[in-house]
Amino acid sequence: MKTFFSSAATLLALLLVETAILSNWYILPVVPDLLLITVIYISYSNGSMMGQTTGFFSGLILDFVSASPLGLHALMRTIIGFLSGFLHQRIVLNGILFPMVVGFFGTVLKAILLTIISFFYQDGIQTYFSSGSAFINECVINAVLTPVMFKFLSNFKILQESNEIGLI
């Protein structure tokens, strides 16, 4: 339970950084997705159950602060958190290269899921593939920031697996 509440607090803090600070820096071509990187890290550290839970929570708070349809980000990030949880205790993400690859493919998976889900909305949702270079820029920025974020988040032992069973 402590891990979930710590993850939720971390996600809320990073949401503030992402929306209040990074979105106003005009030197960045796109806003890095710190919440996505954090969901991937928490999934890697704790497994699929915690990954899908934090993915859903991060997506839900993104749905509330954005103009997207309610549930869009929650569904995408739940799937990403679940799939990222399969890396738990299967691969070592120390160093720089593997976290960069994971961050890159997490962003690619997010774009693919957004494109698939957008077919179910009649009003149309702007996807990455319709906005030119934004997709490539976000892939590169997220890939570069993933090792930095993983190193930063690894300092918070409460975000990593404990002997808890489920969420309760």
Q: In the prediction, which pLDDT does 167 show?
A: 41
Return per-residue pLDDT of the chain as tens, 168 residues: 677 788 888 888 888 888 888 878 777 788 899 999 999 999 998 999 999 999 999 999 999 988 888 889 999 999 999 999 998 878 887 889 999 999 999 999 999 999 888 888 767 677 766 566 888 899 999 999 999 999 999 888 777 765 444 443
Q: What is the pLDDT of residue 146?
A: 95
CA distance 63 to 159: 23
Task: List domains and CATH numbers for the chain.
Answer: 2-157 (1.10.1760)
Measured CA to CA, the distance from residue 138 to residue 121 in angstroms comes to 24
* 88 touches 45 (CB < 8 A): yes
Q: How many residues does the chain have?
A: 168
| Residue of 125, 121, 141 whose CA lies nearest to 133 | 141
- Rounded Cα distance between 13 and 7, Å, is 10
pTM over 0.85? The answer is yes
Instruction: State the angle between helix axes of 134-153 and 34-46 in degrees (0 to 180), rounded to the nearest 10.
Output: 50
Element (H, E) at 79: helix 72-84
Four-CA torsion 107, 144, 47, 82, nearest 10 degrees: 0
Q: Is 98 exposed, middle or buried (0-12, 13-18, 19+ CB in 10 A)?
A: middle
